[in-house]
Amino acid sequence: WSAPLKKAGDDATILLKPAFGTHRPSSNAILVFAEGYDLSIYLSFVESLANTGYSGDVVFSISNESKLKPGVKEYLLSKSNSQSEEGVNIIAYEVEWTCFKKSGESAHGSGEGMNNCKMTNVFGDAAGNPVDDPREPRPVATARYELYWIWSLQYSKESWLMLLDVRDVWFQLNPFEQVNTRDKVSGELHLFGENADAVRIGTSAYNKGWLVTAYGRKTVSPYFNEPVICSGSTMGNQDAIETYLRAMVAQFDATNCKSKGCDQGFHNYLYYSGQLGKVDDETTSVGAISKLLVHEQGKGVINNLGALRTKPLKEWGMYDAEKELVLNWDGSTSPVAHQYDRDKEVNIMVKGKKKQFEQQWRLGKLNTA
């Protein structure tokens, strides 16, 4: 797969620079598309992460300053910490979008992902002059993989990178704690499944639809009985993630699938078609991916909870209400709880923590005023 900027020309360059913050190239990093949210979403993501003892970068794509919700920039700036090698360090990018409704008429913003958008001033020519986005308008959830790719270039190949959704993520342990204790490696890519008993590709109208729309029923019908792999949570070494991101952008270029959610179709197709390599087979490498691992729901660093809706997580044994912890199936603490808000009790718990974070932030501001 070629680098995403090549579509803008062989001599294309990357113009996009952080609005604030500086990458720490030897750090681990969490890459997040986080435009349009209010302060509480950023607070719950960053503060729950900081409380785990995480030391590394968090890279956000945020709205242009004129569209940012109150308090967001002030808070994120307070966590921009590139001078130190320790603690959370936030880098924020403000991406300009030109968006269109499905009818083709211009629109204000992404419309919660329903509108199709082009990026502005992201790529340039050899002289540094901006060039038009070389891709057709697409949902921002699809375009975010190009941003992730640009950001991934800022890190060393042994850095661990994690791609995450922002709205429904709650951290309970340092997400890289397990890999930090191992010898340094490169080339590993980790994917995370949704609950296979609750949903398969063929039983999910959405997941089946995205794959059929992008690739055609004949191509993807062999995957209908397979578990869904979640595109909102991926982890790997920088070199493997960079290869994966090239592959994801190439899927849009090949299919032109513009439905909101097609990125999950791309993600599952790449895995089940074998284009990312084979699980636990280190004899075949794809680009920089030398080892591919897929973690079943509730058995890895990221616990995707969204499919477990038939009864509360507590009844599944996946929530300890006394300790206020989401659990893996073996009773251990899930480092990252994803899609926690589908469970009423966990959602109430996190909402309470968000209120505490907001109070602490406002009090902290008052104390330093």
d(CA 10, CA 158): 28
With a CB cutoff of 8 Å and minimum separation 6, the contacts of 300 are 190, 192, 328
Structure token pair of residue 259: 């439905």
136 within 8 A of 98, measured Cβ to Cβ: no
What distance in Å separates the CA atoms of residue 120 and residue 98, rounded to the nearest whole number? 7
Looking at residues 342-352, what average pLDDT do you find? 96
Q: Rounded to whole angstroms, how far apart are CA atoms 293 and 247?
A: 17
> Is the pLDDT score of 16 beyond 60?
yes
Q: Cα dist. 33→58, 85, 188, 262, 343 in Å? A: 11, 24, 23, 16, 23
Bridge partners, 191 (sequence order): 234, 294
Mean pLDDT score of the chain, rounded to an integer? 93
CA-based torsion, 142, 143, 146, 147: positive or negative: negative
pLDDT at 366 over 60: no
- Structural element, H or E, at residue 161: strand 160-164
> Over the stretch 172-217, which tens digit does the pLDDT of each residue have?
999 999 888 888 888 999 999 999 999 999 999 999 999 999 999 9
Are 180 and 48 contacting, i.e. CB atoms less than 8 angstroms apart?
no
Single-letter code of the amino acid located at 88: V
All structural domains of the chain, each given as residue ranges with its CATH number in brackets, are: 17-94+138-368 (3.90.550.10)
At 108 the three-state DSSP class reads coil
Q: How far apart are CA 349 and CA 79, in angstroms?
A: 24
pLDDT of residue 369: 43
The two tokens of residue 59 are 């890279």
Using pLDDT thresholds of 50, 70 and 90, give the confidence band for residue 108: confident
With beta carbons less than 8 A apart as the criterion, state whether 45 and 168 touch: no
In this predicted structure, the answer to whether residue 111 has a pLDDT above a threshold of 80 is no
Q: What residues are paired with 303 via a beta bridge?
A: 337
Q: Return d(Cα 313, Cα 171) in angstroms, integer.
A: 17
Token look-up 């204000």 returns 108
- d(Cα 366, Cα 369) in Å, to the nearest integer? 5
pLDDT over 90 percentage in the chain: 82
Residues 256-269: tens digit of each pLDDT: 999 999 999 999 99
Sheet holding 302-304, edge to edge: 169-171, 336-338, 302-304
> In Å, what is the CA distance from 264 to each residue of 114, 240, 252, 362?
15, 18, 11, 38
- Per residue in 280-334, pLDDT tens? 676 668 889 999 999 999 999 999 999 998 899 999 999 999 999 999 999 999 9
Mean pLDDT of 211-240: 96
